Structure 1
Amino acid sequence: MLKQIPMTIKGAELLKEELQRLKSVDRPNIIQAIAEARAQGDLSENAEYESAKERQSFIEGRIAEIEAKLSNAMVIDPKTIVG
């Protein structure tokens, strides 16, 4: 079992917004960029293709990271924290 991650409602909302943007805007854009780079031919020396693949890897990793955080989120109210 993964450890619960405390976060505020606002923090959870920001992560959800980022996740939505990554899935609905960034991911489709990078898929298009990869397709365009592939159309240029030889992939072994195609800097645009390599760059797009690296960006895709980052986006997919960030999506997985956010989904894991949200699935283990424990929403807290900072006003109730004593310390």
Structure 2
Amino acid sequence: MATKKAAKKSTKKAPAKKSTRKYSSAAGKQVKTEMHEMREGKLKSGRSGKKVTNPKQAIAIGLSEARKKGAKVPPNPNK
């Protein structure tokens, strides 16, 4: 005879996961805009006004602009 413990199935549900998303969709849109400008050759950097050609720099500019607008973005690790 099988025991009652083996025949009984667990009915407990897993706890709901908390969202671990680091960047908001607004931040993603801002980065997308900056990347588009970089590809068109319109994106300029800071004080010097030099043309941005590095994609990583374009992403950094996009995240910085998103922070200024108040979007959900982690703080800059360099500061």
Question: What TM-score results when the alignment is normalised by the length of structure 1?
Answer: 0.31
Q: Looking at both structures, which has the greater relative contact order when contacts are Cα pairs under 8 Å and sequence separation is at least 6?
A: 1
Higher helix share: 1
Q: Which has the larger radius of gyration?
A: 2
